[in-house]
Amino acid sequence: MHTPAIPPESTPPLQNCLSQWLDKQTRHLSADYRQYLQDELQKILSYQATIGVMGKSGAGKSSLCNALFGQEESAVSDVTGGTRSPQEITLASQAGRGISLFDMPGVGESLQNHEEYGEQYQALLPKLDLILWLIKADDRALSLDQQCYQKLLQPHLVEHPIPVLFVVSQADKIEPCREWDEQQHRPGPMQQDNLAIKQRVIADSFNIPTSHINVIAAAENYGLQELVEHIVRVLPHERKWGVVRETKPEQISNTTWQLCLACLWQLLGSRLGDLARKGKEVMADKLSTLWGR
């Protein structure tokens, strides 16, 4: 498969770039099939992703969302009279319909409120594609996060299994802080060791593999490309572009871009296969030759 040579920041609007790419890739097909694929491409590209962002107050949720997706555009629902409810924020769209972020309440609060939040979570979870759970690098008190995960989230994940990625945030604040490399914007050697320990502690506390935990410092632009790559890897193919489309181009690594294109190609191939199976003109040989390239 030929892929468009990018850094994505040099692309015209994403839709145009991918539409031209698809046009080139499918030039051997009949006009009907090409149009069908272009329509499918637009459907895939216009998916609106919804991410739940969890973590104690001050964990760095807003900072991360702004670093990945841009400035806050509007708060759809609000915090009301002492009872917090999930707050939906639509972030400024780069090239499409925006991305919905839910600021999820409850983390860091006492268990007394969990029953009330439980119902809200049950209602919200089916709407979400992914949850990001932030824990500040220098926060040693994990027990409220842990209880919230076990009591509030885990029971609903059984019914609505969506990926949950843990994020160690504000990595520059882990001891010894003075070691942070201001030039390279990365942790020093002892900070790196301590961040690895932190990842292991979180993995043990939440019973997840360390590979599910990213380390970032949004204010330092550290670890953000890797986090985006991880998000894209865990999302189903048809939901990846809703996130990539809205992510700032500088946070999309070449690996992420290539991965998304390969998955898009696979997805379009299967859509075309579905169409052929539905009894339209059979082009099995031609299609398999084209898709095998």
Ligand X SMILES: Nc1nc2c(ncn2[C@@H]2O[C@H](COP(=O)(O)OP(=O)(O)OP(=O)(O)O)[C@@H](O)[C@H]2O)c(=O)[nH]1
List interacting residues with ligand X (CB under 6 A).
Answer: 55, 57-63, 170, 172-173, 217-220
Q: Write the interaction track for Mg ion spanning residues 12-51; mark x where CB under 5 A is met and - where it is not.
A: ----------------------------------------
- If you ran DSSP here, which 8-state letter would residue 53 be given? E
Instruction: Output 62 or 93, the one with its CB closest to Mg ion.
Output: 62
The burial class, CB within 10 Å (0-12 / 13-18 / 19+), for 104 is buried
- Closer CB to ligand X, residue 48 or residue 63? 63
DSSP string of 113-147, one letter each residue: GHHHHHHHHHHHGGG-SEEEEEEETT----HHHHH
The nearer residue to Mg ion, 62 or 122, going by C-beta atoms, is 62
- Least distance from ligand X to the Cβ atom of residue 87, Å: 9
Task: Output 61 or 245, the one with its CB closest to ligand X.
Answer: 61
Q: Which residues make Cβ contacts (< 8 Å) with residue 230, sequence separation at least 6?
A: 165, 214
Q: Which stretch binds Mg ion (CB under 5 A): 5-13, 57-65, 142-150, 222-230?
A: 57-65
| Region near Mg ion per CB under 5 A, out of 56-64, 128-136, 183-191, 281-289 | 56-64
Report the partner that residue 57 touches, choosing among Mg ion, ligand X, none (CB closer than 5 to 8 A by kind): ligand X
Classify residue 76 by its DSSP letter: S
Please tell me the distance from the alpha carbon of residue 255 to that of residue 198, in angstroms, as a whole number.
Answer: 27
Question: Which CB, 61 or 212, lies closer to ligand X?
Answer: 61
In the chain, count of helices (H) and strands (E)?
11, 7
Binds Mg ion by CB under 5 A, chosen from 15, 19, 38, 62: 62
How far is it, in rounded angstroms, from Cα 223 to Cα 225? 6
With CB under 5 to 8 Å by kind, the binding choice for 58 among Mg ion, ligand X, none is ligand X
Omega of the bond leading into 176 within 30 degrees of 0 (cis): yes
Between 180 and 241, whose beta carbon lies closer to ligand X?
180
Partner whose footprint covers residue 60, from ligand X, Mg ion, none (CB < 5 to 8 Å by kind): ligand X
Residue 247, H or E segment: none
Task: Determine, following the binding rule CB under 5 A, whether residue 66 of this chain makes contact with Mg ion.
Answer: no
Instruction: Report, in Å, the least distance between residue 84 CB and ligand X.
Output: 10
Are residues 175 and 194 in contact, defined by beta-carbon separation less than 8 angstroms?
yes
**Amino acid, res. 167:** V
Contacted entry of ligand X, Mg ion, none for residue 229, CB cut-off 5 to 8 Å set by kind:
none
Q: How far is the CB of 6 from Mg ion (least distance, A)?
A: 32
User: Residue 200, Cβ neighbours under 10 Å: how many?
Assistant: 12
Give the E-state strand segments of the chain in sequence order: 50-54, 72-75, 87-91, 99-103, 130-136, 164-169, 213-215
Q: Which does 90 bind (CB under 5 to 8 A by kind): ligand X, Mg ion, none?
A: none
Q: Nearest distance from residue 217's CB to ligand X, in Å? A: 4
